[in-house]
Structure 1
Amino acid sequence: MTKAEAGSASKLTDEEILAIPVLYRSTLSALSVARETSLDLGLVEYLETLSARAYFFVYGSRATLQDRLTSFFRNDWPNAVRGLWRETLISTALMLLGAAVAAWLVLHEPEWFYAFVPGELAGGRDPAASTEALRSTLDGSDGNGGLSVFAAFLFTHNAQVAILAFALGFALCLPTGMLILYNGATLGAFVALFASRGLGVEVGGWLLIHGVTELFAVILAGAAGFRIGWAVAFPGQKRRLDAAVEAGRTAAIVMGGVVVMLFFAGLLEGFGRQLVVHTGLRYGVAAFTALVWAAYFYFPRREARLGR
């Protein structure tokens, strides 16, 4: 072990590498005997330390951090997302349903807006605001940074929904479904308010420049929650706990990627929308990000070969 730790496994001969598992098992046997019969605590501590060093060599991963990250982004994350395609469709449908219902209600009765959008989230951008006031918040001409405060609040809100949708999935999918519906309703009510003043195209560009990434992250978090909840509710031939653990592995990989998506969404929200003020360019950025995520997750790719 001293020789291996001084450099790398490449310094060991073939005979030494083959001998390590045998010596490891012998050391464990010696440790067991020493604990039962020896009065020398130093010997016991030495064997425990040696066993621990050997354990990480025998069973530990040989992959470097760079290898793990490369494998995660190249294979693990996209494969996990593709494996949740049914749950992703359900999560998308629920968000669209919530947005459509809320938008319809607000367009027919503006007072419904207050039922879907909290006052601190609206920040005065509600049915009582004038059309010019709403327009000024989209182009930043109001002198208060436009909707920057609202955008930060909305990003935090969506991040919280994503985490809760995943974390509460074990409760038979019900809390996850309600959260996705509510998130869609909040978005739909907000868009409907601007659309009722003839600002639907402008607010769409304002939202989608970062919303494509941000909302897709929320949808994937909901899909991960649904996968766990479905495994708990319908484990099939497996034990309920085993089914939940297996589903949790896939869901955890997806959620690891969701964190990355929310990070990029934050960059787009903080910089992209402030630098890109033309509505057409905002839609162009939104379309580009949508194409990038679609290609990354769903376009066919060649699997990486071992040793290359």
Structure 2
Amino acid sequence: MDVDAFVLAHRATWDRLEQLVKRRRRLTGAEVDELVDLYQRVSTHLSMVRSASNDSVLVGKLSGLVAQARSVVTGAHAPLWREFVRFWTVSFPVVAYRSWRWWLGTAVVFMAVVFALAFWVGGDPEVHTAIGTPSEIDQLVNHDFASYYSENPAGSFALQVWVNNSWVAAQCIGFAILLGLPIPYLLFQNAANLGVIAGLMFAANKGDLFLGLILPHGLLELTAVFLAGAVGMRLGWMVIAPGDRPRGQVLAEQGRAVVAVAVGLAAVLLVSGLVEAMVTPSPLPTAVRIGIGVTVEVAFLTYVIYFGRKAARAGETGDVEDAPDVVPVA
């Protein structure tokens, strides 16, 4: 962004908003409507500057102006449904979209660990003795793995899965407070567990059963976990290297954005849990069950890319403080 050109293009708007804020007790009806409109426009300007510029002076000036205007604008708050729609079309997808490099990197490293361990365990029978006794391994590959998905009623199992997966995602996001340092270890534990089971199942010629039970729900489930880990580590890194902006400001902005991801992932993992409880153990052909999982995964990624890229181009960051809290009345 050319900051000087941006300031030159919008200074008149900012000055006009500042004038209206100063005269807030003597505004006409038309001027009140104008103030609301300018407040929303300058809020968008602030989002654009934050995302494309390191000019802390300009960010501070616009932040102060937007805060003053927000305090003036009363009685025209956006209805709850509008905030709900904004969350799902802006706040959540834009944070996920902006984190795509961390998200993709997390997925690549996680799956590399899974494949490496699966090949190691599956190709070396001596490793099996360190994992468990032959009877324990036989119980796992021939009974426990498959029965896990069908031994409980679908409703209670879906709730159990959702709570467990939400806890893993919440840990990833919560560890952002510790600069994301524990997150790689947490992800490694999950990757190691998945890789060992995969190796044992393939070694017992149960690879088709393993994939048929893991893929329908696992694609979306792991995608959600990757995203949780990515945003947590990204927040930690941005606190370590905030650039030209104050570290406290970066922490506040990114922390609010991470909260949006936490809420969004709760819904994503609920969908994953429902698929795991109702599709994974169903009598449908394996190809159909996997097809459902792929469809759900593609739908989620398409949603994030479409709405996230659109919001990012508009200068949105996912910070709830940037969300207009008023509805135009003019």
Residue equivalent to 1:3: none
SS across alignment from 2:139: coil
Residue equivalent to 2:119: 104
Give how far 1:296 is off: 0.9
Asked which structure has the greater RCO (Cα within 8 Å, sep 6+), the reply is 2
Residue equivalent to 2:252: 245
Larger Rg: 1
Residue equivalent to 2:99: 84
Contact 2:161 2:273 in 1 (8 A): no
Give how far 1:220 is off: 0.8
Distance 1:100 1:132, change over 3 A: closer
State how 1:118-197 maps to structure 2 within 5 Å: 126-129=136-139, 132-133=142-143, 137=147, 144=151, 156-197=163-204
Amino acid in the other structure paired with 1:233: I
Distance 1:264 1:133, change over 3 A: closer
Give how far 1:85 is off: 0.8
Aligned-pair Cα RMSD in Å: 3.8
Partner deviation per Cα, 1:41-66 (whole Å, 9 max, x = no partner): xxxxxxxxxxxxxx988347621111
Q: What TM-score, normalized by structure 2, do the two folds share?
A: 0.64
User: 1:281 aligned to 2:288?
Assistant: yes
Q: d(CA) in 1 for partners of 2:160 and 2:73? A: 49
Residue equivalent to 1:214: 221
Amino acid in the other structure paired with 2:233: F
Partner deviation per Cα, 1:247-286 (whole Å, 9 max, x = no partner): 2232222222111101111211222224354211111111
Q: d(CA) in 2 for partners of 1:106 and 1:152? A: 32
Contact 2:220 2:272 in 1 (8 A): yes
Structure 2: tracts of 5 or more residues without a match: 1-26, 34-69, 315-326
Structure 1: tracts of 5 or more residues without a match: 1-13, 21-54, 115-123
Amino acid in the other structure paired with 2:137: P
Q: d(CA) in 1 for partners of 2:200 and 2:155? A: 18
Q: d(CA) in 1 for partners of 2:145 and 2:259? A: 41
Contact 2:149 2:276 in 1 (8 A): no
Q: Aligned pairs, how many? A: 250
Partner deviation per Cα, 1:194-235 (whole Å, 9 max, x = no partner): 111111122212112111221111111101101211012112
Amino acid in the other structure paired with 1:201: D
Residue equivalent to 1:121: none
Give how far 1:126 is off: 4.7
Q: What TM-score, normalized by structure 1, do the two folds share?
A: 0.68
